[in-house]
Structure 1
Amino acid sequence: MALVVGRGFLVQPCSSSFICKNVYKPLSGVTNTFWPTRPGTTRCLTQTVARAQLRPTWLPGLDPPPYLDGSLPGDFGFDPLGLGEDPESLKWYVQAELVHARFAMLGVAGILLTDLLRVTGISNIPVWYEAGAVKFKFANTETLFIVQLILMGFVETKRYMDFVSPGSQAEGPFFGIEAAFEGLEPGYPGGPLLNPLGLAKDITKSRDWKLKEIKNGRLAMVAMLGIFVQASVTHVGPIDNLVEHLSNPWHKTIVQTLANSGS
């Protein structure tokens, strides 16, 4: 009979007629411990088995849900709402996270670069949250909106069709560039247009690249959330906030800024 203690330990009791080490072979990660007993009783060997965590999780010691088995890049068992219990929903959420991560990385890079150009005076451009209200001379707002709607709609439609039927977007003529839309697998397009450096020609052996991308993408999504909050509170760009903080690091902090915003 075995007694389970908590979630991580297994204690195997011994019979008084023999020593446990004759029955239970020592395993990796198993500690054999002799506990002294009262005189006249048989000394019993107990084995405490610390269940080793096979992979890192977002909260150390927490068992990941069974449907997150570590096969997905960046899978650390994080799904507190159980959104991925359905296999089909999980596939869609994986693609949704990947797209949001890529947009976030582009957004953070674009905001920081343009804000740096604005603060240094290299270019006379508006702060990022006012860029959408700028009137351009080469086209009016309505035209730009329609063009963006068509282009983004085309790209997103192709992405969705590739998700539904992987590899289908490389079939049929398309201005002679159909090979550029040949996906390596859903969410990872290939070809000379979308993978010019050929970093992941064999997508089945590119787990490290996938892991790096999703990690940086998640960091970028958190960064975008921070940029949104700081713009709402301080009404300036991130570079302005950084310059102000560096001018007085001990008194110009996020805590004091948030505290002063509520007063």
Structure 2
Amino acid sequence: MDIAVGRTFQILAHSPFPGNSINRVAFSRSNSKWLVNKNSTLHRHRVVVVRAQDRPTWLPGLDPPSYLDGTLAGDYGFDPLGLGEDPESLKWYVQAELVHARFAMAGVAGILVTDLLRVTGISNLPVWYEAGATKFGFANTTTLFIVQLLLMGFVETKRYMDFRSPGSQAKEGSFFGLEAALEGLEPGYPGGPLLNPLGLAKDIKNAHEWKLKEIKNGRLAMVAMLGIFVQANVTHVGPIDNLIHHLSNPWHTTIIQTLVKSSS
């Protein structure tokens, strides 16, 4: 008999006697008993083939929602709140997650590198959560804030316009004549020598592996950023200082002891 395991179980019993028809019995996951046609002979079956569900999910054995069909990069059927039921909302959430993932990767890299330079004494840099209060000699804080607001606002506006009308921001004259240098591929994936200098994933439609790697690393970076925020709030030092403190006494300097000391 062949046993297919997926959203439902199905037994295809092969009779060992010629002339007998194949008996089929299907049952759902909720049924705890093997239902077998009374005319079949279990101990004389020919072969048993067990086929597991091909698509991986965030929780093994979970049935993913119907609107998450596995075509999106990093889709493991995780949507406990049902936020992606509306197709238009799902498209925006995908872009929002992608942008947050990229910011998180840049943030984690920036925090770790600057913290390493500070701890080793190579550069006199402030700890990352005090960097915003640093005074720069070449411009005052108000000027820097306004410049950042204008630049970020411009970039985010262009990104939103390209999301609403894919390809519209790559038209000639839409970006000071630099459209060819950016060479937008699809919403969320600009390219060209400026944003894709190594020429990776030129065929973005079929770059499933690259997209998957990026979103996996991005999700990990978002979790790391959350950990860095909590860590700074509890210990009041940077991540490199925390790492050195832990390595100095790894069995007695852990997250559990740290949280207990901070609450007492």
TM-score tier, shorter chain, comes to: 0.7 to 0.9
SS at match of 2:149: helix
Is 1:233–2:234 an aligned residue pair?
yes
1:28 maps to what in 2?
none
2:136 aligned residue: 136
Query: Distance in 2 between the 1:236 and 1:188 partners?
Result: 36
Question: 2: distance between equivalents of 1:200 and 1:145?
Answer: 35
Aligned residue type for 2:176: F
Residues 14-35 of structure 1, C-alpha deviations (whole Å, 9 max, x = no match): 99xx89974159xxxxxxxx99
**Count of residues paired in the alignment:** 245
**Contact in 2 for aligned 1:14/1:45 (Cα 8 Å):** no
Q: CA RMSD in A?
A: 2.9
Q: What is the aligned partner in structure 2 of residue 183 from structure 1?
A: 184
Give the alignment's TM-score, normalised by structure 1: 0.85
Q: String of CA shifts for 1:118-156, please: whole Å, max 9, x gaps.
A: 000111111000000011100000000000001000110
Cα gap change, 1:226/1:19 in structure 2, threshold over 3 Å: closer, same or farther? farther
Which AA in structure 1 matches 2:97? E
- CA distance 1:166–1:256, change in 2 (3 Å): same
- 1:167 aligns to 2:167 (yes or no): yes
List alignment gaps of at least 5 residues for structure 1.
26-33, 36-40
- Residue equivalent to 1:253: 254
Amino acid at match of 2:218: G
2:193 is the alignment partner of 1:192: yes
Say if 1:20 and 1:89 are closer, same or farther in 2 by CA, change over 3 A: farther
Identity %: 78
Change (3 A) 1:119 1:57: same
Verify the 8 A CA contact 2:6 2:53 in the aligned structure 1: no
Q: Distance in 2 between matches of 1:43 and 1:105?
A: 59
Supply the distance in 1 between the matched residues of 2:20 and 2:197 (Cα, whole angstroms): 61
Q: What one-letter code is carried by the residue in structure 2 that aligns with 1:243?
A: I
Moved more, 200-209 or 173-182: 173-182
Asked if 2 retains the 8 angstrom alpha-carbon contact of 1:21 and 1:45, the reply is no
Measured after TM superposition, the shift of residue 44 of structure 1 is: 4.1
**1:182 Cα offset (Å):** 2.8
Query: TM-score of the superposition, structure 2-length normalised?
Result: 0.84
**Does the Cα contact within 8 Å between 2:7 and 2:63 map onto a contact in 1?**
no
Which residue number in structure 2 is paired with residue 85 of structure 1?
85
In structure 2, the partner of 1:94 is 94
